[in-house]
Structure 1
Amino acid sequence: MTDSQPTLKGLAAKVAEVTEAFTRTLEENKIPEPTFAADSPTSYSGLTGEMFLQRQQLLDHLNDMIYLVQGPSESIFNYAHNCMPDVAALNILNHFDFWSAVPLAGSATYSEIALHTSLPEEVVTRVIEHATTLRIFEKTAFEPGTPLRIRHTSRSAALAKSAGLRALVSTVLDDAGPPMTVMQEALRRFNAGKTELAQDMTQTAFALYHSGALAGKYANSWEFIENDGEGGKKGWRQRTFVQFMDYIKEIFRLEDVVENAYDWKAAGTATVVDLGGSGGHDSIVLARKFPDLSIVVQDLPQAQPVFEKNVPADLKERVTYSAHDFFNPQPVQADVYMIKLILHDWPDKESVQILRGLVPALKPGARVLFIDYVGKQDELAGSASGPPLPRSIQQFGTSTDLRMLALFSAKERPVGAWKEIFRQADERFELVRVEANPLTFMVIIEAVWRG
């Protein structure tokens, strides 16, 4: 039905309408708009749920315009032509720390950047020339007889200012990116002709990619990030991953999510186990706000140095670290077990095994507080007659879902699937509360042990 299809004129009208509404609410709420200047705000701070949806709807309309302006064939051609060089350029800039090679309030020549990064000047020039097409760095006004100089834009400055954002780029592109390039071959070898996905971590794109000498032989992504590197560099990916998780905490406002996920004050004097708690960032904040809580952060031994560096001296008696593999039986008897952003990295079988690992330590009435990502938003989009979520929100989930498929043979789950994981683990888990919000991308499940 062609008459219902978006047109350039119709989309332009919608863009103008939504832009007017969005910028008006920004002004009313005194939220500054980002620009491309290096001293621009790096994000919108304080968006309400309504404003966030407005922004994503605007993004959908703009993306549709981009597709229609190019036409179907050319839009696909341009995407295929540009996507890998875009990724490669950002990965190189990040890996060789181009960000600190250019002063935030100044500029640098290609030769100065080459000296800082220890790369040939030709390579530096070619990478930055591509990056500037993405509004990452920009060339200063050229004066005859003087070397060309490079300065930050707001996009490159955001990376220069934030270790967490740099860690995100490294983890998503450098660690998880390469295996995704062989997903089609992994699916052909391990899944073609089958009716269901093989939930076997030895049959993933990651396993295939790391099966040869080129990338090193690692059984799974966790083994890779914990052991890659030699000498003092050994485990550098693990340290970067901890920074990445700290940054995720900021962009998803996990401190607020964790604080509001449970009535911690009413819990009184309680012992909490933060399963897979990494460097203990959220547990430290929780302990600071609720002085009656004693929190045990559990993770692999490799994360303990980061924890010891993070934990303040005045909290060391109440926030402690216990090296623990969550596939083994839980050794600590506690009142609350917090499982935050853990199970989405594992297939169903392993997720069930992690929950079952808690059972030996559970006392009647103990609670499991489950906080995780809702990567599939369909059932949260309201009634069938209600407006669908903007595609840009859905795409966030589908991108993560493909990454989970490549790395773990896992998937991003809707709320119903999370409930089923608890049921399969043990029917003595009683789900007393299930809350999900598509704007925070989070689901909270409170389960009480009735054993």
Structure 2
Amino acid sequence: MAVSRIVQLAETIQSNTAKVDTHFTLQNLPSPSFDHDFPASLPEEIEQARNAIIDAADEITDLMQGSKELLEVPPALPSVLGLQLVNKFGVATSLAPDEQVSFAELAARCDLPVSDLRRIVRYCISRHIFKEPQMGFVAHTAASRTLATNEEIRDRVWLSCEQIWPAAAHLGDAIEKWRGSEEVNETGYNLAHNTELSFFGTMERNPEHERRFANVMRALKTAPDAAAPIKHLLSSFDWASVGTVVDVGGSHGALSIEIVRNYPSITCTVQDLPEVVAQGSRNIPGDVAERVKFMAHDFFKPQPVHGADVYFLGWILHDWSDKNAISILRSLIPALKNGAYVVLYEMSVPPPGILPFYKEKMIRAADLGLKALFNGKERDAEDWKQLFHDADPRFKFLGLSVAPGFPSAVIQTQWEQSSIAKSP
């Protein structure tokens, strides 16, 4: 008799949980709980077991809910409810890491009615964010303590809950109003915030907005779970053969710093908006300060640094529609010498059914989030190849290398100035 799917999933959870538990025991680590942080990094085998548990638990939850319950409560909604309000009103930062206070005291600190504060916090408690150690009093769990003490996490919550989520809620209206639009100011974001400015246009006028977004980008590029993809970035292109790199839209230079630390012969110029590069320049580590320089530049305008060996764009083009991504690539052309490389570090979406549903869901959600916010998009391998061809056939597509276990990819092209091709 065939084993049912739910039993298969339960066995996957059981066997991999045993592996994780054994690792924690042998390393004398506390077993995972809601009162302390999970380790930032795990050995590869244990990380694979952890991912298998999450994948199986996600699928078995959907199966055991059944279609009616799955449709009645959209999966993303519980993740946003409460957390958005907690971050907006500074609830976590109003509670010291090891403090326990009454709802009334915390409400006063947040300038909220007690009844509203209690409802918000008790909802979050059901998500293991905060706890109520005794009736009427609030204390931190590991999650709320992280929110209180980690500015990068607060900025990520701000981006997800206060920018992407409202935009996503208006995505259908935007598609209906501006059918087929590739414009950055014809999006769910514009409808949600009642503005004609794009997300990036708003950012240019709001330094705090700009700072928080740059902070999120730096955090994503340097997070512990980014270590394997970055290792792939460093090994899948022949960086040792080049000397000068222009990091286009490089924010605070996180990826350039990794490149020059691993390849001492390279110098990098990091380009971004004026305030972003000013902050990056102020915070550049001393060991790379001589080889990582910053320059204010709008990447829709002609590239001012001519003759570099590599023009590198890390997590840039997915923010833009095809029309705008092509414009960004074409803006490089006046500066390109024959044989120059254009290297992208981006997500490459695998064909449907390759990844477990949990990971597939995350990628597809990111794709729709980009659509809602910027009219951006995630692309698959053929999309990337076509994008370069449409920008100019003189971009010779050299291939795409996907990081093992991750959808992050290094995409390589080389400029063939002497080839016979029609200019755009």
TM-score relative to the length of structure 1: 0.83
Deviation at 1:435, TM superposition (A): 0.5
Other structure's SS at 2:80 match:
helix
The one-letter code sitting in structure 2 at the alignment partner of 1:311 is I
Whether the aligned pair in 1 keeps the contact of 2:168 and 2:188 (CA below 8 Å) is yes
Say if 1:18 and 1:72 are closer, same or farther in 2 by CA, change over 3 A.
same
Q: Which amino acid aligns with 1:307?
A: G
Q: Which residue of 2 aligns with 1:242?
A: 214
Instruction: Report the residue type matching 2:327 in the other structure.
Output: Q
Q: 2:203 pairs with 211, 218, 225, which one?
A: 225
One-letter code aligned to 1:443 = A
1:117 aligned residue: 110
Q: 1:102 aligns with which of 70, 84, 95?
A: 95
In the alignment, is residue 360 of structure 1 matched against residue 334 of structure 2? yes
Separation in 2, partners of 1:237, 1:258: 29
- Identify which of 191, 204, 212 aligns with 1:208: 191
Q: Is 1:324 the counterpart of 2:279 in the alignment?
A: no
Change over 3 Å in CA distance of 1:359–1:114 after alignment to 2? same
Question: Partners of 2:110 and 2:247 in 1: how far apart?
Answer: 39
State how 1:107-256 maps to structure 2 within 5 Å: 107-142=100-135, 148-191=136-179, 197-210=180-193, 212=194, 217-227=195-205, 234-249=206-221, 250=223, 251-253=225-227, 255-256=230-231
State the 1:337 CA deviation.
Answer: 1.0
RMSD: 2.7
Q: 2 CA distance for matches of 1:20 and 1:354? A: 48
- Kindly state the Cα deviation for residue 329 of structure 1 after the two structures are TM-superposed: 0.7
Given that residues 11 and 65 in structure 1 are in contact (C-alpha distance below 8 angstroms), is that contact kept between their aligned partners in structure 2? yes
> Could you say which residue in structure 2 is the equivalent of 1:263?
238
**5+ long unaligned stretches in structure 2:** 418-424
> CA 1:141–1:209 in 2, change beyond 3 Å: closer, same or farther?
closer
Matching residue's letter, 2:104: S
Distance 1:306 1:23, change over 3 A: farther
> Among 35, 40, 43, which residue is 1:38 paired with?
35
Q: How many residues align?
A: 411
For the residues of structure 1 that align with 2:52 and 2:34, how far apart are their CA atoms? 25
Deviations for 1:389-418, whole angstroms, at most 9, x for unmatched residues? 210010011101111221222321111111
Residue 313 of structure 2 is aligned to residue 339 of structure 1:
yes
- Residue 419 of structure 1 deviates from its aligned partner by 1.1
Q: Distance in 2 between matches of 1:409 and 1:100?
A: 33
Q: 1:80-125: per-residue Cα shift (whole Å, max 9, x none)?
A: 4x85465131011122332232232332222332233232322221
Partner of 1:63: 58
Q: 1:236 to 1:34 in 2, by over 3 A?
A: farther
Q: CA deviation at 1:159?
A: 2.3
| TM superposition shift of 1:152 | 1.6
Question: Per the alignment, in what secondary structure is the counterpart of residue 71 of structure 1?
Answer: helix
Q: In the alignment, which residue of structure 2 is the partner of 1:231?
A: none
For residues 67 and 101 of structure 2, the distance between their equivalents in structure 1, rounded to whole angstroms, comes to: 40
**SS where residue 156 of structure 2 aligns?**
helix
**Where in structure 1 are there 5+ consecutive unaligned residues?**
143-147, 192-196, 228-233, 382-387
Paired residue for 2:364, among 398, 409, 412? 398
